[in-house]
Amino acid sequence: MQLFIHRPLSLPFSQRKREKMEGRRKALLFTLCFFFFSLPSLSSLPAFQTLIPTSHSLPSASPTSFQPESEPVSESLFESGSDSESSITLNLDHIDALSTNRTPEELFGSRLQRDSRRVESIATLAARIPRRNTTHAPRPGGFSSSVVSGLSQGSGEYFTRLGVGTPARYVYMVLDTGSDIVWLQCAPCRRCYSQSDPIFDPRKSRTYSTIRCSSPLCRRLDSAGCNTRRRTCLYQVSYGDGSFTVGDFATETLTFRRNRVKGVAVGCGHDNEGLFVGAAGLLGLGKGRLSFPGQTGRRFNQKFSYCLVDRSASSKPSSVVFGNAAVSRTAKFTPLLSNPKLDTFYYVELLGISVGGTRVPGVAASLFKLDQIGNGGVIIDSGTSVTRLVRPAYIAMRDAFRVGARSLKRAPDYSLFDTCFDLSHQNEVKVPTVVLHFRGADVSLPATNYLIPVDTNGKFCFAFAGTMSGLSIIGNIQQQGFRVVYDLMGSRVGFAPRGCA
């Protein structure tokens, strides 16, 4: 028997040498790639940026940016559910503009007090509300109990001016992404708080119409009552700070500059109490079906955006845009998440935070997770001022910032801020950069969005805070200067830097 041994053909020496060298080059390339990708992306995330303290101070109560109005002429008229799409742009002012004879320090202190009450109430609302049903049968004869719904603190922070009724009566209305209802004070008033304009009287409007108890609109209310004598729908909204509004649920025409939107469901409040700071009522911008975007979705293509200016450094007005023009081409988008038990708030996924060009190791995505039953998570909120992070994430981020800012002179704590600096007599300082990493969108904050003046003597504080609640909130100080885009049709939120121009 013959034994055959198979031997591979030998490659020429020069070819073996080339292949060996090629293998070494690939191995070296792989090692270098692994090394650089394992490093923090310092090239894309700068470690420091410049803050000019002398150009930023506490804002004072300046007059509003709104001009006297007259009833518009030759404007288009749209149903709230019309398929026609257009865009509307409105100026926004901060609620402090309605306060008089108060110092900048007093205004800022009041803002932080409102902020703490709001955050506490939002956390309570998010933790306790059960899953909503699609419809609710109205209670005969009115209301049997207080119901917490929508916005968790009544005052809000930004307002606009719009017309209500026909002929249009112009009033200030707070805009808020944490509310699912539109309402205003109405005559006759059983109890009404003080507002800047005359109280709206529905008896003088040609387009005011009450809603029947049997109407689907009435059943959409979280808490619906029924006037048994007139068979008309009643609404009630109670807020976490004890504020409330109660009255008739009706449809009315709202006028935005030269555009009218008719058939908007509004609460006409005859019994109102609370911290509403001079505005006539509230234009809810939440995700619910009875908010203004929810009712006018087809009219404005389910899109709106706002840009809030830094009032300490700019005299330009803030603005809100409804319609396709609301979407900035420079915006970076992150998907919206759904909370199974609460559809009011805008939930997003925060994956991490960088300070000084480096991801903070203690700020893990798991700390911000929205679980299957609706607990935890992160929301974008126009009415909260200071961003709140769950305590472990805040401590890790704060400590990283302190390390990066160790060359700055420390100052005593102030209110809820535990990291403050004395920047008096400083013309320019270098501060660590801060980047919020949302899924699909890295948002690099200007220095003025996280190191803010708290008095008129040069004290600046790190404008983040911790919360013992499982819910984190991205506040409006951190949103300043960005056009924040709410694209409900695309189920996403976007951030466009330098968006207030």
Q: Please determine, for residue 483, whether its predicted confidence score (pLDDT) is greater than 70.
A: yes
> Considering the chain, what percentage of its residues have pLDDT values greater than 70?
78
pTM for the whole structure: 0.85
Q: How confident is the model at residue 6 (pLDDT cuts 50, 70, 90)?
A: very low
CB 172 within 8 Å of CB 160: yes
Is 96 an annotated catalytic residue?
A: no
Digit-coded pLDDT (tens) for 259-298 = 899 999 999 999 998 766 678 999 999 999 999 999 998 8
Backbone angles phi, psi at 348, to 5 degrees: -130, 170
Cα dihedral sign for 121, 122, 128, 129? Answer: positive
Distances (CA, A) of 16 to 23, 28, 501: 11, 19, 64
Distinct helix (H) and strand (E) counts, the chain: 6, 32
Q: How confident is the model at residue 237 (pLDDT cuts 50, 70, 90)?
A: confident
DSSP state of 280: S
> Considering the chain, what percentage of its residues have pLDDT values greater than 90?
59
CB 121 within 8 Å of CB 205: no
Q: 136 Cβ partners below 8 Å, 6+ apart? A: 219, 220, 221, 222, 223, 224
Name which of 159, 156, 184 is nearest 252 in CA terms. 184
SS3 assignment, position 395: helix
CB 276 within 8 Å of CB 243: yes
Question: Could you give the CA distance from residue 435 to residue 442 in angstroms, rounded to a whole number?
Answer: 7
Q: Of 27 and 145, which is predicted with more confidence?
A: 27
Distances (CA, A) of 102 to 59, 94, 97, 252, 457: 11, 15, 10, 36, 17
Distances (CA, A) of 265 to 262, 287, 290, 446: 9, 15, 7, 39
DSSP state of 401: H
Give the pLDDT mean for 149-166.
70
Give the pLDDT mean for 301-305.
95
What pLDDT, on the 0 to 100 scale, is given for residue 3? 43
Question: Could you give the CA distance from residue 232 to residue 254 in angstroms, rounded to a whole number?
Answer: 21
Question: Could you give the CA distance from residue 433 to residue 453 in angstroms, rounded to a whole number?
Answer: 17
- The one catalytic residue among 115, 176, 180, 487: 176
Amino acid in position 177 = T
Q: How confident is the model at residue 154 (pLDDT cuts 50, 70, 90)?
A: very low
Which of 58-62, 327-331, 345-349, 474-478 bottoms out in mean pLDDT, i.e. has the lowest? 58-62
Question: Could you give the CA distance from residue 396 to residue 290 in angstroms, rounded to a whole number?
Answer: 39
Amino acid in position 459 = K
Q: Please determine, for residue 136, whether its predicted confidence score (pLDDT) is greater than 60.
A: no
What pLDDT, on the 0 to 100 scale, is given for residue 310? 83
Q: Of 141 and 336, which is predicted with more confidence?
A: 336
Question: Could you give the CA distance from residue 188 to residue 194 in angstroms, rounded to a whole number?
Answer: 14
Q: Please determine, for residue 123, whether its predicted confidence score (pLDDT) is greater than 70.
A: yes
Give the pLDDT mean for 146-170.
69
Q: Average pLDDT of the chain?
A: 84
What pLDDT, on the 0 to 100 scale, is given for residue 448? 95
CB 193 within 8 Å of CB 155: no
Q: How many CA atoms lie within 13 A of 467 on its CB side?
A: 27
Which of 28-32, 36-40, 315-319, 447-451 bottoms out in mean pLDDT, i.e. has the lowest? 36-40
Q: How confident is the model at residue 35 (pLDDT cuts 50, 70, 90)?
A: very low
Tokens 């203690």, located at residue: 362
Is 399 an annotated catalytic residue?
A: no
Measured from the Cβ of residue 483, the count of other Cβ atoms closer than 10 Å reads 24
- As a whole number of Å, the end-to-end CA separation of the chain is 92
CB 279 within 8 Å of CB 98: yes
- The one catalytic residue among 96, 248, 381, 487: 381
What pLDDT, on the 0 to 100 scale, is given for residue 241? 63
Segments of 285-383 assigned E as strands: 303-307, 318-322, 332-335, 346-348, 350-355, 358-359, 378-380
Chain length of the chain: 501
Name which of 55, 62, 139 is nearest 100 in CA terms. 62
Segments of 197-243 assigned E as strands: 209-210, 224-227, 232-238
Name which of 129, 120, 183, 200 is nearest 152 in CA terms. 120
Q: Please determine, for residue 38, whether its predicted confidence score (pLDDT) is greater than 50.
A: no
Digit-coded pLDDT (tens) for 212-229 = 999 999 999 988 899 999
Which of 15-29, 189-203, 358-372, 430-444 bottoms out in mean pLDDT, i.e. has the lowest? 15-29
SS3 assignment, position 218: helix
Give the pLDDT mean for 455-477.
96
Q: Please determine, for residue 149, whether its predicted confidence score (pLDDT) is greater than 50.
A: no
Which of 23-27, 301-305, 380-384, 444-448 bottoms out in mean pLDDT, i.e. has the lowest? 23-27
Amino acid in position 25 = R
